[in-house]
């Protein structure tokens, strides 16, 4: 007979699980309840030995034994997601949600999604803008107000305005959410503060300051720095700006929704990988709206020098 350190009941040894690393033993019922609790809450990183001050990881075979197949699959997915979130060289594509590996040149802040071919900035998660600073929310709103729609057809202009209003509403909603949350400096997941002091604990186990957003270890940050331990009249932490697609992207989306046949006119810039749309004038000369690169719609090659010289060869300028 053995004593379970959780429920303090005695059971035969056959009804116990023994941890591999620390040799602590717990009854089947307590281990099942323990695993189900963390799987339901999504805190898979807390699946460690229930003994106080013991940090041994619960072996996967125990989790698989006590959980039904559906719950075990959820554990695997959550563990994979937590692992990816903790990796500094991976991000999620803001367009399709696929996991993307960041380019090795860190100063570029560039990531290419292999699934939807979206090239985006890892800082603002908008279209990659080589050599240019990330646009602020004020810049985006000013750009929307100054947008000239006189050159659009009535149908495209109406669809453009509908999409713009929809995006403005989404932007305001996201801005409201971001005011009440701070991203964890380790896993980047938004954390909401309900009450208490300014020392925050994320589900990934990281500690950070609610005021400045920096990762911390203990309470020394509040005694040595300018951030108070408890809420008061302090300067709010700078939130992550809410980003909107470029007007060129909105216009292409509006044209595609009005004329689905234009799907075959889509092409990608050979330099920045951004999607462009061949116009109805059948001109095969494309000038990328993002990086201003000239390229050919037919051969998808970059055009250097005189544009007309490229179309003397096998590629025709209009088709």
Positions annotated as catalytic residues are 197
Residue-by-residue DSSP string for 13-59: GGGEEE-TTT--EEEHHHHHHHHHHHHHHT-GGG-B-SSTT--PBPP
Task: Enumerate the β-bridge partners of residue 243.
Answer: none
To 10 degrees, the CA torsion angle through 157, 162, 168, 171?
Answer: -120
Please state, as a whole number, how many other Cβ atoms lie within 10 Å of the Cβ of residue 73. 11
The β-bridge relationship of strands 119-121 and 110-112 is antiparallel
Would you say 269 and 281 are in contact if contact means Cβ atoms under 8 Å apart? no
Distance CA 97, CA 242 (A): 17
Q: Which of 172, 171, 194, 170 is nearest to 181 (CA)?
A: 194
> Quick check: helix, strand or coil at residue 49?
coil
For the purposes of burial, counting CB atoms within 10 Å of the CB of 63, is it exposed (0-12), middle (13-18) or buried (19 or more)? Answer: buried
CA-only gyration radius of the chain, Å: 27
Provide φ and ψ at 40, rounded to 5°.
Answer: -65, -40
Would you say 49 and 24 are in contact if contact means Cβ atoms under 8 Å apart? yes
Distance CA 28, CA 12 (A): 11
> Quick check: helix, strand or coil at residue 125?
coil
Distance CA 121, CA 288 (A): 17
């Amino acid at each position: 007979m053995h004593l379970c350190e959780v429920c303090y009941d005695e059971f035969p040894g056959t009804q116990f699980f023994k941890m591999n690393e620390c040799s602590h033993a717990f009854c089947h019922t307590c281990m099942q309840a323990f695993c189900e609790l963390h799987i339901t809450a999504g805190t898979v990183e807390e699946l460690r030995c229930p003994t106080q001050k013991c940090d041994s990881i619960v072996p996967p075979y125990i989790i698989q034994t006590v959980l039904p197949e559906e719950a075990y699959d959820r554990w695997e997915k959550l563990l994979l997601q937590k692992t990816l979130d903790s990796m500094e060289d991976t991000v999620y594509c803001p367009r399709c949600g696929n996991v993307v590996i960041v380019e090795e040149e860190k100063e570029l802040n560039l990531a290419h999604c292999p699934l939807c071919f979206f090239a985006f900035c890892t800082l603002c998660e908008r279209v990659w803008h080589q050599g240019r600073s990330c646009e602020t929310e004020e810049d985006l709103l000013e750009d929307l107000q100054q947008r000239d729609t006189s050159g659009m057809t009535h149908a495209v202009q109406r669809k453009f305005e509908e999409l713009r209003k929809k995006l403005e509403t989404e932007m305001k909603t996201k801005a409201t959410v971001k005011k009440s949350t701070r991203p964890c400096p380790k896993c980047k997941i938004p954390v909401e503060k309900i009450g208490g002091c300014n020392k925050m604990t994320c589900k990934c186990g990281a500690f950070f300051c609610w005021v400045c957003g920096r990762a911390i270890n203990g309470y020394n940050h509040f005694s040595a720095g300018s951030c108070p331990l408890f809420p008061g009249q302090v300067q709010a932490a700078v939130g992550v700006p809410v980003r909107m697609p470029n007007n060129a992207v909105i216009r292409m989306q509006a044209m595609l929704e009005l004329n689905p046949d234009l799907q075959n006119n889509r092409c990608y810039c050979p330099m920045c990988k951004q999607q462009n749309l061949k116009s109805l004038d059948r001109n095969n000369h494309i000038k990328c709206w993002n990086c201003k690169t000239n390229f050919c719609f037919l051969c998808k090659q970059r055009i250097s020098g005189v544009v007309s010289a490229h179309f003397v060869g096998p590629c025709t300028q209009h088709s």
